[in-house]
C-alpha cells in the first residue's frame, strides 16, 4: 500500500515537472520566434536593392524593382525631400514612419551616416568621415581621424539591414507615373557592399552651397517679416524669427561650408516624434544645419501659401527700394565730401617736414642761404622749368626725377615759386639737397609787387563779398554744395600764377610748366625743339576722355560761351605744358585771360578752377603733343596700363589720390616714392616712409 502511494506520488511529480518544462519550452519558443522573425522576413522577403540611399521595406519596397531602373539618379531624386534645383546639399526622404523603437533608431543611424559621410544621395564631401559615438551623441570632426571607404560602406549596409521596420512613404507626384517593378534578391552582405560601392555617384556640389542657401533663406525671411507685420500675422512672424535665430546660430560668422559647425544634434522639431522608445543617449542623431534648413524652408512655404496679397509685397518692396536709394545718395555725398577733405588737407607728416625745415632755415647762418649758378636764371639758351607749389616734398620729387633722367643736367634751370608760409622750408630743402650742376631758384609770391587786385581780376574777385560769402558762409547758404568747388586752394593766387608767365620770366622765350604731382621718367630736352606751329600752348589733348570735352567745364547755356566755343571741342591737360612766351606776348594772352575772368565774376560761365579758364584763354592757341610725353590718371584711375606708365616721359597723379597721401593707390605709389630721399634726416624725423 505504501509502495503504491509512493509510486502515485512520484508519477504526479513527474507530470508536474513535465508540465512545467512544457510551459517554459513554449514561452522560450515564442521568445525565439519573436527575435528571429524580423531577420527571417528581411532575408526571405525583398532584399536590399543595389543602389545608394535608404532601403525600402514593407509595402513601399514590394512595389519597386530598383535593380531594373535604368537611371539611378532618378531614384535618388524621388527619394529627396527637397527638389534638386532648390537645395543640392539637402536630400532626404519626405516622411519616415517608425514601427518600433529599434527601427527608428536604425533609421536615424542611417540618416546620420548619409549626412556625416558627405554621401547625401550621391553627393560626397571630400569622402572624409570620423567616428560615430552613439552614447555621447554623434560627432564628426576631422581631428578624430578617417574611416576608409570600405568600412564606411560596411557600416552603412549594417545600419540599413537593422532598419527592419522602417517604412518610407514616397510623394505621389514622384511615383504616380512609374509602374511597380519587382525587386531582385541579394542576401549576401558582401554583395550589398559591392553594389553600394559600384552605384554610389559622386557629384561635385558648388562650393559653399550651404552657406548660400542659409543666407538666401535669411533674406527671404526678412522680406516676409516686413510684409507680414503690416497684416497682423504675429504667429508666422514669431515662427519665422525663431527659424531665423536658428539659421543665424548655424552661420555664426561662417564664410564657407568648411566653417559650419561639425557637430550634429537633435533639432527641437523632431524631439516629440523621436523620444518614444529611444534612450537619452540616442537623441543626438539629427543634423543641426541641414535640419534647420528644412525647418526654415517648411516655414517659408507656409508663409508663402497664406501670403497671397502680392500688392502689399510690391508696395513694401517699392518703399524699401526708395528708402535704399535715398540712403545710397546720402552715403555718396558723404563719401565725396570726406574724400575731398582727405585729398586737400595737409598730412601731418608733410606739415612736420615744413615746420622742421623752416626752423632749421631761420636758425642756420646766413652764409649758407644762397643758391649757386645765378647766371643761368635768365639765359634763354638753357631749358627752363616753372614750378608753382606749396608742397615741399612734391616739388623735391619733380626736380629730382627731372635731373636724374636729364642727359645734360647743367642745361636745366628750375624756377620754383611758393607762398610766404612755405618759402623758408622750400629754400632750406634745396639748399641742403644739392642738385649738382642744375640751377635752382626759389621765389616768394609776396615779392611780386606788380601782382595786385588792381592788375589781376582774380585777386579783385577773391576780395569781393560774393567770394567771401561763397567760402565763409555756412553750408546751407552756399550756392553749390559740391565740396570740390569749395576747396580753399582756389583762394590761392599760386593756382592762377600760370597765366602770368611772361611777367614772371620777361627775358625767357620758352618755359616748360610742371605741376607738383608729376614724376619725370625720361629726358625732356627734346620738348624745346618741338615746333608749336605758332601756337602758344603745347599740351596733350584728352579727346578720349568723355569728361574732358568743353561742355563738361563750360556753361553752354550762356550765350557768350555758346557763341565763342564748340560744345564737343577737345580739351587738353595741365601738368606738363610747353609755353612759347614770344607767341604769348604777341597774342596778348594775359589780356584774354583777364577778359574772361571779368566775364565770369559771378561764376556763371564756369565754376572755380584753372582748367576752364585755360580752355577759354588758349582757345585756338594749343598745339597737340604726342601722348607719350604725358600720361594722366594715376590719381583716380585704378586700371592704368603698366606698359603705358613705363613708356611715358611724364606720369601725372591728377585726381584725389595723390602719392603723398594715405589714400594714394598703392600700386602707383612706387613710381613716385623711388625719387624721395628717405635717408634725409628731416624725412626720418617726420616719420615719412615709402
Q: What CATH number does residue 528 fall under?
A: 3.90.550.10
pLDDT digits (tens, 9 = 90+) for 388-429: 999 999 999 999 999 999 999 999 999 999 999 999 999 999
For residues 516 and 426, membership in a common domain is answered with yes
Is 66 or 321 the better-scoring residue by pLDDT?
321
pLDDT of residue 332: 86
For residues 602 and 632, membership in a common domain is answered with yes
Helix (H) or strand (E) segment spanning residue 98:
strand 95-98
For residues 572 and 637, membership in a common domain is answered with yes
Average pLDDT of span 173-197:
43
pLDDT of residue 145: 40
pLDDT of residue 205: 53
Average pLDDT, the chain: 74
Q: How many CA atoms lie within 13 A of 630 on its CB side?
A: 24
- 488: containing domain: 348-686
Portion of the chain with pLDDT greater than 90, in percent: 38
Is 387 or 173 the better-scoring residue by pLDDT?
387
Q: Round to the nearest angstrom and report the end-to-end CA distance of the chain.
A: 129
Among the candidates 327, 344, 361, a domain finishes at 344
Q: How far apart are CA 566 and CA 116, in angstroms?
A: 73
Structural domain count, the chain: 2
CA 213 vs. chain centroid, Å, equals 20
pLDDT of residue 285: 38
For residue 51, pLDDT over 50 is answered with: no
Among the candidates 322, 344, 366, a domain finishes at 344
Contact 602, 457 (CB under 8 A): no
In a domain, 334, yes or no: yes
For residues 534 and 667, membership in a common domain is answered with yes
For residues 362 and 323, membership in a common domain is answered with no
Contact 416, 426 (CB under 8 A): yes
For residue 195, pLDDT over 50 is answered with: no
pLDDT digits (tens, 9 = 90+) for 356-380: 999 999 998 777 788 999 999 999 9
pLDDT of residue 168: 38
- Whether pTM > 0.75 for this model: the answer is no
Most confident stretch, 106-115, 335-344, 570-579 = 570-579
In a domain, 676, yes or no: yes
Q: How far apart are CA 420 and CA 418, in angstroms?
A: 7
pLDDT digits (tens, 9 = 90+) for 207-256: 678 888 888 888 888 877 766 655 556 677 788 888 888 888 888 778 78
pLDDT of residue 99: 39
Contact 214, 136 (CB under 8 A): no
Among 43-52, 242-251, 478-487, name the one with the lowest average pLDDT. Answer: 43-52
For residues 326 and 390, membership in a common domain is answered with no
Among 160-174, 327-341, 551-565, 612-626, name the one with the lowest average pLDDT. Answer: 160-174
Question: DSSP states of 409-440 as a string?
Answer: GGGEEEEEEE-TTTHHHHHHHHHHS--TT-EE
Average pLDDT of span 95-121:
45
pLDDT of residue 451: 92
Amino acid at each position: 500500500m505504501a509502495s503504491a502511494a509512493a509510486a502515485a506520488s512520484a508519477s504526479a511529480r513527474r507530470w508536474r515537472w513535465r508540465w512545467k518544462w512544457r510551459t517554459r519550452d513554449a514561452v522560450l519558443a515564442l521568445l525565439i520566434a519573436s527575435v528571429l522573425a524580423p531577420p527571417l522576413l528581411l532575408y526571405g522577403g525583398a532584399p536590399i536593392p543595389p543602389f545608394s540611399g535608404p532601403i525600402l521595406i514593407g509595402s513601399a519596397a514590394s512595389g519597386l524593382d530598383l535593380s531594373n531602373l535604368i537611371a539611378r539618379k532618378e531614384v535618388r531624386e524621388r527619394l529627396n525631400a527637397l527638389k534638386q534645383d532648390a537645395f543640392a546639399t539637402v536630400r532626404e526622404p519626405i516622411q519616415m514612419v517608425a514601427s518600433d523603437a529599434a527601427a527608428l533608431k536604425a533609421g536615424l543611424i542611417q540618416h546620420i551616416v548619409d549626412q556625416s559621410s558627405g554621401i547625401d544621395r550621391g553627393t560626397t564631401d571630400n569622402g572624409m568621415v570620423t567616428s560615430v559615438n552613439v552614447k555621447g551623441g554623434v560627432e564628426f570632426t576631422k581631428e578624430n581621424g578617417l574611416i576608409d571607404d570600405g568600412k564606411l560602406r560596411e557600416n552603412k549596409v549594417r545600419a540599413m539591414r537593422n532598419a527592419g521596420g522602417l517604412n518610407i512613404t514616397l510623394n505621389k507626384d514622384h511615383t504616380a507615373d512609374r509602374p511597380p517593378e519587382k525587386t531582385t534578391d541579394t542576401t549576401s552582405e558582401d554583395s550589398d557592399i559591392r553594389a553600394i560601392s559600384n552605384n554610389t555617384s559622386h557629384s561635385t556640389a558648388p562650393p559653399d552651397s550651404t552657406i548660400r542657401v542659409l543666407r538666401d533663406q535669411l533674406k527671404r525671411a526678412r522680406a516676409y517679416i516686413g510684409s507680414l507685420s503690416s497684416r497682423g500675422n504675429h504667429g508666422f512672424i514669431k515662427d519665422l524669427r525663431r527659424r531665423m535665430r536658428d539659421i543665424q546660430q548655424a552661420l555664426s560668422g561662417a564664410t564657407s561650408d568648411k566653417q559650419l559647425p561639425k557637430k550634429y544634434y537633435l533639432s527641437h522639431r523632431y524631439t516629440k516624434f523621436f523620444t518614444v522608445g529611444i534612450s537619452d543617449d540616442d537623441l543626438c542623431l539629427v543634423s543641426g544645419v541641414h535640419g534647420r534648413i528644412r525647418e526654415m524652408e517648411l516655414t517659408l512655404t507656409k508663409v508663402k501659401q497664406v501670403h497671397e496679397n502680392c500688392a502689399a509685397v510690391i508696395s513694401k518692396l517699392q518703399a524699401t527700394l526708395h528708402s535704399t536709394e535715398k540712403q545710397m545718395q546720402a552715403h555718396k555725398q558723404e563719401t565725396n565730401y570726406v574724400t575731398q577733405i582727405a585729398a586737400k588737407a595737409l598730412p601731418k607728416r608733410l606739415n612736420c617736414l615744413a615746420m622742421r625745415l623752416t626752423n632749421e632755415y631761420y636758425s642756420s647762418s646766413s652764409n649758407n642761404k644762397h643758391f649757386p649758378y645765378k647766371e643761368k636764371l635768365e639765359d634763354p639758351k638753357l631749358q627752363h622749368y616753372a614750378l608753382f607749389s606749396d608742397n615741399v616734398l612734391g616739388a623735391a620729387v619733380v626736380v629730382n626725377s627731372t635731373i636724374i633722367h636729364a642727359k645734360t643736367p647743367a642745361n636745366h634751370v628750375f624756377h620754383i615759386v611758393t607762398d610766404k608760409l612755405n618759402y623758408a622750408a622750400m629754400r632750406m630743402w634745396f639748399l641742403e639737397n644739392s642738385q649738382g650742376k642744375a640751377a635752382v631758384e626759389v621765389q616768394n609770391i609776396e615779392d611780386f609787387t606788380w601782382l595786385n587786385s588792381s592788375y589781376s581780376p582774380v585777386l579783385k574777385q577773391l576780395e569781393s563779398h560774393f567770394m567771401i560769402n561763397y567760402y565763409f558762409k555756412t553750408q546751407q547758404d552756399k550756392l553749390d554744395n559740391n565740396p570740390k568747388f569749395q576747396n580753399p586752394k582756389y583762394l590761392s593766387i599760386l593756382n592762377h600764377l600760370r597765366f602770368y608767365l611772361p611777367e614772371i620770366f620777361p627775358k625767357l622765350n620758352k618755359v616748360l610748366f610742371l605741376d607738383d604731382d608729376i614724376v619725370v621718367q625720361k629726358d625732356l630736352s627734346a620738348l624745346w625743339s618741338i615746333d608749336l606751329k605758332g601756337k602758344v600752348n603745347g599740351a596733350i589733348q584728352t579727346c578720349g576722355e568723355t569728361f574732358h570735352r568743353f561742355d563738361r567745364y563750360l556753361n553752354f547755356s550762356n550765350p557768350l560761351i555758346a557763341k565763342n566755343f564748340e560744345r564737343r571741342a577737345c580739351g587738353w591737360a595741365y601738368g606738363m605744358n610747353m609755353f612759347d612766351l614770344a607767341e604769348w606776348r604777341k597774342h596778348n594772352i594775359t589780356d584774354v585771360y583777364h577778359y574772361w575772368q571779368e566775364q565770369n565774376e559771378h561764376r556763371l560761365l564756369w565754376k572755380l578752377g584753372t582748367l576752364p579758364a585755360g580752355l577759354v584763354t588758349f582757345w585756338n592757341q594749343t598745339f597737340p603733343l604726342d601722348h607719350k610725353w604725358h600720361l594722366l590718371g594715376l590719381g583716380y584711375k585704378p586700371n592704368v596700363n603698366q606698359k603705358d606708365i613705363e613708356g611715358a616721359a611724364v606720369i601725372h597723379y591728377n585726381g584725389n589720390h595723390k602719392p603723398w597721401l594715405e589714400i594714394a593707390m598703392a600700386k602707383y605709389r612706387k613710381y613716385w616714392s623711388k625719387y624721395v630721399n628717405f635717408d634725409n634726416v628731416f624725412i626720418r624725423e617726420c616719420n615719412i616712409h615709402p
